[in-house]
C-alpha cells in the first residue's frame, strides 16, 4: 500500500454520516488524521471561505447530496478561489461522473480524481500519493492569483519566456512546426504557467503587450533555428482580445520583417473562449493576415463557441482538435466519433488537421488510422526551451526510426 510521509489538510463532505465515518477511518488507516468532515456542503463552503482558499489541501466531495449537489458545490468553490485539490466520489454511473469531472476541469479546478463508492482503500491511497507529490517532480506549483501590476512588471522586465512544443507529421515523423507556449519565469515562484496569467492579461488590457513580446521572441527564435539549418514554422497563440485593433496585421508584419522571417513560416492559433465582441473586426483582421500569407489555425476545436460557424466564415488553414477528444480516444467511442468527424470535416474543407494532447502510442495509432495530418503532445515531446529543440529533433528522428522498424506505430 503506498503511503505518504506527511499530514495533508483534508476536508470530506457527504450527507451520509456513515460514509463520512468510513472515509475518516480509511484515511486514518492511511496515516491521515487531519480530516475535517461536513455533512452539509453549505457549511463546508462557509468554512473554506472563512479559513482562506489555501487552508485545505484536499477536498473530497460527494456528487449526490440534498440541498446543494456536487456540481453547485464546484461552482461555489470556483467563486471562493479554492486553491487546493478536489476529489469527487459518487455511486452514479460513469458518464454522469465523467461529465461532472469534465466540468471541474473546465472551471480550472484542480481535480485529482474520481472515487467510486464503496471506496477502495488502495484507490484512496493512490489519490493521497498523487495529492502530495514527492519533491522534485514536475507537478505544477499551487495556483496563485497574480495582480495586473505584477504582470505589467513581468512584461516590462521581460520575465515572460517562450517554450516550444513540436508538431509532427504523422505520415513521416517529420517535425515541421512548433507551438510557442509562454511561461513566466517568476523571481520567487519559479516557472508559472499561462492559465495563471493570460486571463489577468486579458482582463486588464495587457494582452497586446504580452502578445507582442511572445511574437517577437518566437520570430527571433525561428530565425535563429533557420540560421542553424532547422526550418520550422512557428505557431503563436493569440487571444480574441488581440483582434480588437484593426492594425494588428501591420504589427505582425512589422515583427516578421524585423526578424527576417517569411509570413508563410508564422501560424497564428486563435481560440475562442468567449463570444466574439466584434465579429466584423475579427473577420477583417484575419482575412488581411491571410492575404499576407500568415497561416491561421483554429485552436481547441470542438470546445470553443460556435466553432462550426467560425469554420464557415473565417479563412483558417489548420484545424486543431482539442485534446479532450484525442487522448484516450481508442477506448472511448464518443471521443473517437468526434475525432473522426472533425478530421474528415477538416480534410473536406481543405485544411491541415492536427490533434493536440497525443500522450501515448494508442493515441498516435488512432490518429494514423483516421488520417490526421499532424500530432502534438507528450508522446513526441513536452514543451521545451528553444535551445533544446535541435537536440530533440535529432533524438526524435532516431526514436521514430526505431518505432517504425518495430512496427508499433500501426494498429
Given Mg ion, ligand C2E, none, residue 193, with its beta carbon under 5 to 8 Å by kind, binds ligand C2E
Quick one: 178 or 200, whose CB is closer to Mg ion? 178
Binding site for ligand C2E (CB under 6 A): 165, 181-182, 193-195, 198, 211, 214, 237-239, 269, 271, 299-300, 323, 356-359, 377-378, 383
| Candidate segments 188-196, 292-300, 361-369, 385-393, binder of Mg ion by CB under 5 A | 292-300
Instruction: For residues 309 and 349, give the distance between their C-alpha atoms in angstroms, rounded to a whole number.
Output: 13
* Cβ contact 51:44 at 8 Å: no
Instruction: For residues 179 and 302, give the distance between their C-alpha atoms in angstroms, rounded to a whole number.
Output: 19
Q: How far is the CB of 224 from ligand C2E (least distance, A)?
A: 18
Q: Note the residue count of the chain.
A: 411
The single residue among 62, 300, 318, 363 that binds Mg ion, judged by CB under 5 A, is 300
Quick one: 238 or 259, whose CB is closer to ligand C2E? 238
Quick one: 186 or 323, whose CB is closer to Mg ion? 323
Given ligand C2E, Mg ion, none, residue 400, with its beta carbon under 5 to 8 Å by kind, binds none
Q: Is 373 among the residues that bind Mg ion (CB under 5 A)?
A: no
Quick one: 70 or 383, whose CB is closer to Mg ion? 383
CB proximity list for 29: less than 8 A, separation 6 or greater = 121
CA atoms within 13 A on the CB side of 334: 5
Cα dihedral value 104, 106, 107, 108, nearest 10 = 90
Query: Which residue in this structure is represented by grid cell 524585423?
Result: 258
- Please name which of 271, 282, 205, 191 lies closest in space to residue 239, comparing C-alpha atoms: 271
| Candidate segments 51-59, 185-193, 230-238, 403-411, binder of Mg ion by CB under 5 A | 230-238
The single residue among 196, 237, 239, 324 that binds Mg ion, judged by CB under 5 A, is 237
CA–CA distances in Å: residue 234 to residues 175, 189, 192, 354: 11, 28, 22, 14
Q: How far is the CB of 362 from ligand C2E (least distance, A)?
A: 12
Q: How far is the CB of 181 from Mg ion (least distance, A)?
A: 7
Beta bridge partners of 319: 298, 353
Q: How far is the CB of 253 from Mg ion (least distance, A)?
A: 21
Given Mg ion, ligand C2E, none, residue 335, with its beta carbon under 5 to 8 Å by kind, binds none
* Cβ contact 77:109 at 8 Å: yes
The single residue among 241, 272, 299, 373 that binds Mg ion, judged by CB under 5 A, is 299
Residue 12, C-alpha cell as written in the block: 470530506
Quick one: 265 or 271, whose CB is closer to ligand C2E? 271
Q: How far is the CB of 272 from ligand C2E (least distance, A)?
A: 11
3-class DSSP state of 3 = coil
Secondary element (H or E) of residue 167: strand 160-169
Quick one: 241 or 300, whose CB is closer to Mg ion? 300
Q: By beta-carbon distance, which residue lies closest to ligand C2E? A: 377
Given ligand C2E, Mg ion, none, residue 125, with its beta carbon under 5 to 8 Å by kind, binds none
Q: How far is the CB of 191 from ligand C2E (least distance, A)?
A: 10
Query: Which residue in this structure is represented by grid cell 489577468?
Result: 200
| Residues in 260-289 at the binding interface with Mg ion, rule: CB under 5 A | 269
Residue 362, C-alpha cell as written in the block: 494508442
Instruction: For residues 291 and 406, give the distance between their C-alpha atoms in angstroms, rounded to a whole number.
Output: 44
Q: How far is the CB of 41 from ligand C2E (least distance, A)?
A: 29
Query: Which residue in this structure is represented by grid cell 499530514?
Result: 7
Omega before residue 264 within 30° of 0, cis: no
Q: How far is the CB of 163 from Mg ion (least distance, A)?
A: 12
| Residues in 306-325 at the binding interface with Mg ion, rule: CB under 5 A | none
Given ligand C2E, Mg ion, none, residue 265, with its beta carbon under 5 to 8 Å by kind, binds none
Binding track, positions 321-360, relative to Mg ion; x by CB under 5 A: -----------------------------------x----
CB proximity list for 62: less than 8 A, separation 6 or greater = 13, 14, 15, 16, 19, 70, 88, 89, 90
Q: By beta-carbon distance, which residue lies closest to Mg ion? A: 269
Given ligand C2E, Mg ion, none, residue 181, with its beta carbon under 5 to 8 Å by kind, binds ligand C2E
Core vs surface per residue 197-227: b (16+ CB within 10 A) or e: bbbbbbeeebbbebbbbbbbbbbbbbbebbe
Applying CB under 5 A, which residues contact Mg ion? 237, 269, 299-300, 356
Amino acid at each position: 500500500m503506498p503511503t505518504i510521509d506527511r499530514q495533508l489538510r483534508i476536508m470530506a463532505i457527504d450527507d451520509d454520516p456513515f460514509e463520512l465515518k468510513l472515509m475518516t477511518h480509511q484515511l486514518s488507516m492511511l496515516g491521515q488524521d487531519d480530516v475535517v468532515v461536513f455533512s452539509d456542503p453549505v457549511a463546508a463552503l462557509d468554512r473554506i471561505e472563512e479559513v482562506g482558499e489555501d487552508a485545505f489541501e484536499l477536498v473530497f466531495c460527494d456528487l449526490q447530496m440534498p440541498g446543494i449537489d456536487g456540481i453547485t458545490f464546484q461552482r461555489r468553490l470556483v467563486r471562493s478561489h479554492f486553491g487546493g485539490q478536489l476529489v469527487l466520489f459518487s455511486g452514479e454511473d460513469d458518464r454522469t461522473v465523467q461529465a461532472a469531472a469534465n466540468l471541474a476541469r473546465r472551471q480550472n479546478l484542480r481535480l485529482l480524481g474520481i472515487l467510486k463508492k464503496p471506496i477502495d482503500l488502495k484507490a484512496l491511497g493512490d489519490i493521497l500519493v498523487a495529492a502530495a507529490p514527492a519533491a522534485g517532480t514536475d507537478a505544477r506549483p499551487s495556483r496563485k492569483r497574480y495582480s495586473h501590476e505584477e504582470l505589467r512588471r513581468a512584461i516590462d522586465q521581460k520575465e515572460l519566456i517562450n517554450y516550444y512544443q513540436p508538431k509532427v507529421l504523422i505520415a513521416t515523423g517529420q517535425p515541421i512546426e512548433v507551438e510557442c507556449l509562454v511561461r513566466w519565469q517568476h523571481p520567487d515562484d519559479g516557472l508559472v504557467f499561462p492559465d495563471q496569467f493570460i486571463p489577468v492579461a486579458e482582463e486588464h488590457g495587457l494582452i497586446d503587450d504580452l502578445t507582442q513580446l511572445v511574437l517577437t521572441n518566437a520570430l527571433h527564435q525561428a530565425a535563429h533555428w533557420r540560421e542553424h539549418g532547422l526550418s520550422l514554422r512557428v505557431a503563436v497563440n493569440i487571444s480574441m482580445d488581440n483582434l480588437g485593433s484593426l492594425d494588428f496585421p501591420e504589427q505582425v508584419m512589422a515583427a516578421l520583417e524585423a526578424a527576417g522571417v517569411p509570413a508563410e513560416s508564422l501560424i497564428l492559433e486563435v481560440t475562442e473562449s468567449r463570444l466574439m465582441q466584434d465579429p466584423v473586426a475579427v473577420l477583417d483582421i484575419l482575412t488581411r493576415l491571410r492575404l499576407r500569407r500568415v497561416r491561421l489555425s483554429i485552436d481547441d476545436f470542438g470546445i470553443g463557441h460556435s466553432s462550426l460557424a467560425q469554420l464557415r466564415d473565417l479563412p483558417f488553414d489548420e484545424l486543431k482538435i482539442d485534446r479532450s477528444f484525442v487522448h484516450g480516444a481508442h477506448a472511448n467511442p464518443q471521443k473517437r466519433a468526434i475525432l473522426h468527424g472533425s478530421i474528415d470535416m477538416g480534410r473536406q474543407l481543405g485544411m491541415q488537421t492536427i490533434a493536440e494532447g497525443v500522450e501515448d502510442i494508442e493515441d498516435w495509432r488512432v490518429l494514423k488510422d483516421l488520417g490526421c495530418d499532424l500530432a502534438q503532445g507528450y508522446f513526441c515531446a513536452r514543451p521545451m526551451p528553444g535551445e533544446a529543440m535541435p537536440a530533440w529533433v535529432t533524438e526524435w528522428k532516431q526514436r521514430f526510426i526505431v518505432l517504425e522498424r518495430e512496427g508499433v506505430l500501426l494498429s
